[in-house]
Amino acid sequence: MNIINFTPVTALTGGLLIGLSVILFFILNGRMIGVSGIASNFLIAKDKKIENLLFLVGLILGPLICTFLLDQEIKISISSSLSLLTAGGILVGFGTRLSSGCTSGHGISGISRFSLRSIIATITFMIVGILTVLITNIL
Amino acid sequence: MNKIVSLICGIIFGIGLVISEMINPAKVLGFLNIFDKWDPSLAFVMIGALIVSTPLFHLFKKKDKPIFSENFSISNNKEIDKRLIIGSILFGAGWGLIGLCPGPAISSLALLNISSVAFVFWMSIGFYIASKFKK
């Protein structure tokens, strides 16, 4: 194992902001953020439609604010084929709703609450993610 | 007021994803590539988020109610069941295939990247399929 591309300062700073967002949402609105829950409730549930929509709009505004106000260039690279994106998208959408949480819902909100369910979910999707990358590298 | 809070929290979350570079799937795959060339950054993002949210959650959960709502609404589900485990396995597989999870996927729509648009479309289909599986 070699360590590459490690950016501890920006990772920690971005993490603090994500934690701030989670705790403000809890203290002010009384809910714990889970992006998969907010997104799927926006699409499927009738309750709190506008509140959920506005959170998602904010998520999309975040990068735009960084680009225009902070003059930060955002680089992303996705090299996956369309069929892989289809499989990955369905797995992520279906899996996060079956287990009622994703990286934010279980990984941050759930672990903050010391929820055993969320700790088990986070360990599970981390291990499977690592194994998937390992297998992809071999193939 | 709830709606404004929601928008602002979304923006802060989105900026956090950009600064931490978690919006970039290559960065996430670098974290999952633990046995080869490893980028530990994602662990620091989680630590950063948890050191803010954990103590403050336990401090404020004792309050009667949130500032702009009538009551706290938090999951009281404690069941470790097949749905939790199978769901997490399927999510982990999709996450490891592409490097995108729901937050960064939606945030990256801002960049008008055709791959992330396709991913979010199929993820939404996944949400619909799962909603038919509710017990």
ipTM: 0.96
Strand, coil or helix: B75 = coil
Q: Does A98 touch chain B (CB under 8 A)?
A: yes
Judge: B16–A61 Cβ closer than 8 Å, yes or no. Answer: no
Using CA atoms, how far apart are residues A12 and B111, in angstroms rounded to an integer? 23
Residue with tokens 């279980």: A106
Q: CA-nearest residue of chain A to B125?
A: A90
pLDDT grade, residue B135 (50/70/90)?
A: low
Whole-number pLDDT of residue A11: 98
Contact B78, A117 (CB under 8 A): yes
pLDDT grade, residue A139 (50/70/90)?
A: confident
Q: What is the pLDDT of residues A74-114, one digit of tens each?
A: 989 898 999 999 999 999 999 999 999 999 999 999 999 99
pLDDT grade, residue A73 (50/70/90)?
A: confident
Q: What is the mean pLDDT of residues B19-30?
A: 96
Judge: A23–B53 Cβ closer than 8 Å, yes or no. Answer: yes
Q: Choose the closest CB to A112 out of B53, B90, B120.
A: B53
Q: What is the pTM of this model?
A: 0.96
Nearest partner of B124 among A35, A65, A22, A67, judged by Cα: A35
Q: Which two tokens stand for residue A132?
A: 């998937």
pLDDT at B75 > cutoff 90? no
Residues β-bridged to residue A3 = B38
Whole-number pLDDT of residue B134: 64
Using CA atoms, how far apart are residues A22 and B34, in angstroms rounded to an integer? 28
Using CA atoms, how far apart are residues B109 and B114, in angstroms rounded to an integer? 9
What is the amino acid identity at position A124? T
What is the amino acid identity at position A22? V
Whole-number pLDDT of residue A49: 95
DSSP letter, residue A75: -
The CB density around residue A72, as the number of other CB atoms within 10 Å, is: 13
Using CA atoms, how far apart are residues B14 and B108, in angstroms rounded to an integer? 9
Q: What is the pLDDT of residues A27-47, one digit of tens each?
A: 999 999 999 999 999 999 999
Using CA atoms, how far apart are residues A60 and B104, in angstroms rounded to an integer? 9
Do you know the residue count of chain A? 139
| B95: chain A residues, CB-CB within 8 Å | 88, 92, 103, 125, 128-129, 132
Whole-number pLDDT of residue A124: 98
Q: What is the mean pLDDT of residues B58-65?
A: 94
Q: Which of B82, B97, B117, B125 to mutate to test the interface with A (most CBs of A within 10 A)?
A: B97
Strand, coil or helix: B37 = strand
Q: What is the mean pLDDT of residues A9-22?
A: 98
